[in-house]
Amino acid sequence: MRLDVVSLAPEAFAPLLELGVIGRAFAAGIAALHTHNPRDYATDKYRKVDDEPYGGGAGMVLKPEPVFAAVEAIPVLPRRRVLLMSPQGSPLQQADLRRWAGGYEQLVLICGHYEGFDERIRALADEEVSIGDFVLTGGELPAAVIINGVVRLLPGTVGSEACLEEESHSALLLEHPHYTRPASFRELEVPTVLRSGDHGAIARWRAEQQQQRTAERRPDLYARWRQQQQIQQ
């Protein structure tokens, strides 16, 4: 997969190239990361990329011309999706990461900066994405989150694809608890069922734990899961 990031801080993405399995995926050619700085496309001698907002107000707004020029200079692959990082976007879901990883060969991620971006920049995007109900100084961290989440789903990145199927949010429910040796640690015991060797009982216990944990920690997800189960029945 080709990943193109439009950002005024392209250096923010360098650590991804050395980050564990994600870094190894880039080294192996499973994914390729390219950064594009709108400042390189500014046409004035000061390489200006922001300006005061029409109508007044605090802060500076990212100008449309350099961003449009940066995006339009990126090679276009047949199956491409352009994502705009924005606190006004749709909340990021695991299903989005799976959809992008499985359905596209190129993602273009546009990172805002300053007080915001000129409204016309939205016209470049197929989707607007938010990682939460809060505001950051720029879209670099959200873009890095998406890159991490997408690349780990690409075939060959993670050794066992079963790990991806059983994790939290893969089917709305949170993941069940995990234990390893020793069986007893500071009076905290591994559940007996996990040491029983009864795989059917272990599977039932894990399913119960998933439902219980989700109901307690994420009642919103649990309600969606219950609704899904009723529809399937």
pLDDT digits (tens, 9 = 90+) for 41-66: 998 888 999 999 999 988 899 999 99
Cα–Cα distances in angstroms (integers) from residue 232 to residues 75, 98, 199, 213, 226, in the given order: 43, 22, 26, 22, 10
Q: Which of 177, 66, 43 is nearest to 117 (CA)?
A: 66
The stretch 196-219 carries a mean pLDDT of 96
Looking at per-residue pLDDT, the higher value among 221 and 166 belongs to 221
pLDDT at 232: 87
Query: Per-residue pLDDT for 168 more than 60?
Result: no
Domains of the chain: 2-151 (3.40.1280.10), 169-232 (1.10.1270.20)
Among 112-126, 159-173, 201-215, the minimum mean pLDDT is found in: 159-173
**pLDDT the model gives residue 167:** 59
Reduced to 3 states (helix: H, G, I; strand: E, B; else coil), residue 137 is: coil
Helix (H, G, I), strand (E, B), or coil: what is residue 58? coil
Q: Can you give the pLDDT at residue 219?
A: 96
Task: Provide the residue type at 197 as one letter.
Answer: G
Round to the nearest angstrom and report the end-to-end CA distance of the chain: 38
The pLDDT of residue 114 is 79
Sheet strand arrangement including 116-117: 50-51, 61-62, 116-117
Mean pLDDT, the chain, as a whole number?
94
Count of alpha carbons within 13 Å of 14, Cβ hemisphere only?
Answer: 4
| Mean pLDDT for the stretch of residues 69-78 | 98
User: 110 pairs with which residues across the strands?
Assistant: 6, 84
Q: Which stretches within 104-218 are classed as H helix?
A: 140-151, 161-166, 199-217
pLDDT range class, residue 160, cuts 50, 70, 90: low
Distance CA 158, CA 166 (A): 13
Distance (Å, whole) CA 211 – CA 161: 23
